[in-house]
Amino acid sequence: MTQPFVYYEQRSPRELVLLPDPQGIGAYSTPAPDQILCRTEVSALSPGTELSAYRGDPPLRPQGQVYPRLMGYCNVATILARGADVPAHLQVGDRVLTHQSHRSGFMVAHGGVLAKLPEGMSAEQASVTYLFHLGYAAFLKSGALQGDRAAILGLGTLGLTTAALFANAGIAMTGFTNQTPEAQVTRAFGLRDVVPKEAGTYADSFDHVVVSTNSWKDWHLALELCRADATITVLSFPGRGQGMPEFNPLDSRYFYDKQLRIQSCGYMPSAAGSSRRDQPRAITHNCAFLLDAINRGHLPASALIESTVPYDALDAIYAGMLAGNRSAQTYVLDWSSAT
């Protein structure tokens, strides 16, 4: 019998284990007619989401069972085998982007493929595509137009990818952070200015403010930064893990007097069962577009990656990040030495 693939499972806060696939799926397993069998090349961390789960933050939605849970959703893999009903555009040897977790391999329905990698593309760069997709979703939801002024609150991984998507569209971006990234990083992601988290001379200045942090203090800053008829695009979860704010988050002097629009962000439709005409911004179309942009050098995927590390270093990476050893960038796990 083939050696099963391995995957990460979190059993409780800060308890992470690496386990063999419970179904015994391995490199020589036979896929069902509508499935593909894949071996993972690399998987990228989504730091905000994964650290919240690792730390044990309250879940975003009511649910019966929080643990055990899978970790990660940015996976690049090679197709090892395909079922008889898999479409012809997915062949053995193709490399694909999926929402599979941190694991050495998997079996998945072909509809779970987000996009196929261009030939010769770096797997590491491709693995951060969905992190750019979240920034792209923020850009699309904001309704920003070329020539507008925009601010991003928080310059973590998603703050940087959001800045890059706005900047590529000709929108002047100002980043607000109290942990200034290195100058070459801010330049790579198209930020015109990086300033501390205070309104100061920037009050009432921006057409669009994107919030990529959870703190109520930053939410209040977003209200101050907006000019009349501005849009706040919410890429994070204001108030998560905190108590009630010390101010009214819909204070009329901001929300009403400025006639602000507050737009949720993050969720995008899938392409399953619908044409591009029905869903012109489906995830699969967006990911193919972003993969091509990364491959052509139009998006700074390499600058988003702190380093590529062995797959068995994940627990140490989480612990280090929670201890404060964290930059604005992310890590990529290399699964080449896994069973």
pLDDT tens track for 293-332:
999 999 999 999 999 999 999 999 999 999 887 777 899 9
**Burial (CB count within 10 angstroms: exposed 0-12, middle 13-18, buried 19+), residue 281:** middle
**Burial (CB count within 10 angstroms: exposed 0-12, middle 13-18, buried 19+), residue 120:** exposed
By the 8 A CB rule, do 174 and 195 touch? yes
What per-residue confidence (pLDDT) applies to 271?
Answer: 43
Same domain, yes or no: 25 and 67 = yes
pLDDT tens track for 288-301:
999 999 999 999 99
Q: Is residue 276 part of a domain?
A: no
- At residue 269, does pLDDT exceed 60? no
Q: Is residue 272 part of a domain?
A: no
Q: CA neighbours within 13 Å on the CB side: how many for 7?
A: 26
Q: Is residue 277 part of a domain?
A: no
The CATH number linked to 258 is: 3.40.50.720
Same domain, yes or no: 247 and 149 = yes
pLDDT tens track for 84-118:
999 999 999 999 999 999 999 999 999 999 999 99
- At residue 76, does pLDDT exceed 60? yes
- At residue 35, does pLDDT exceed 60? yes
pLDDT confidence of 280, banded at 50, 70, 90?
A: very low
pLDDT mean over 41-57: 93
Cα separations (Å) of 151 from 164, 176, 186, 197, 327?
A: 12, 7, 13, 11, 20
Q: Which of 48-57, 135-144, 263-272 has the least mean pLDDT?
A: 263-272
pLDDT tens track for 250-259:
999 999 999 9
**Burial (CB count within 10 angstroms: exposed 0-12, middle 13-18, buried 19+), residue 325:** exposed
Q: What is the pTM of this model?
A: 0.92
Domain count, the chain: 2
Single out the residue in 241, 264, 287 at which a domain terminates: 264
Question: For residue 272, which amino acid is it?
Answer: A
By the 8 A CB rule, do 251 and 226 touch? no
Which residue range(s) make up the domain with 249? 132-264
By the 8 A CB rule, do 8 and 16 touch? yes
- At residue 63, does pLDDT exceed 80? no
The CATH number linked to 37 is: 3.90.180.10
Same domain, yes or no: 240 and 316 = no
What per-residue confidence (pLDDT) applies to 279?
Answer: 44
